[in-house]
């Protein structure tokens, strides 16, 4: 986590839709891309190192509750 935070890169986040075997060279398909245009990287930086990005997280309706509370509480200051 420390290395990811230092570089501002969260790593890859994927969801398993169907269990099975994978190997090098297999295709990975993006099946859904939300319209809010807030990337995992932007959310990661907002929650770890770049507080100025916090208001952008309010654009993400599906963001987990605890993560949504931080930008709301920051906007009240």
Tokens encoding 15 = 């969801």
pLDDT value of residue 35: 85
Dump pLDDT digits (tens) for 21-74: 989 999 888 888 888 888 888 888 888 888 899 889 888 888 777 776 767 676
Q: Give domain limits for the chain.
A: 1-10+35-77
What are the start-end ranges of the H helices in the chain? 2-7, 40-48, 65-75
Tokens encoding 74 = 């920051």
Confirm whether pTM is higher than 0.75.
Answer: no
Sequence-separated (6 or more) residues with CB below 8 Å from residue 55:
71, 74, 75
């Amino acid at each position: 986590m420390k290395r990811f935070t230092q570089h501002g890169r969260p790593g890859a986040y994927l969801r398993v839709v169907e269990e099975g075997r994978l190997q090098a060279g297999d295709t990975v398909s993006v099946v859904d891309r939300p319209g809010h245009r807030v990337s995992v990287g932007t959310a990661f930086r907002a929650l770890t190192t770049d507080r100025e990005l916090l208001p952008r997280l309010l654009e993400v309706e599906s963001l987990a509750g605890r993560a949504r509370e931080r930008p709301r509480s920051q906007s009240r200051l």
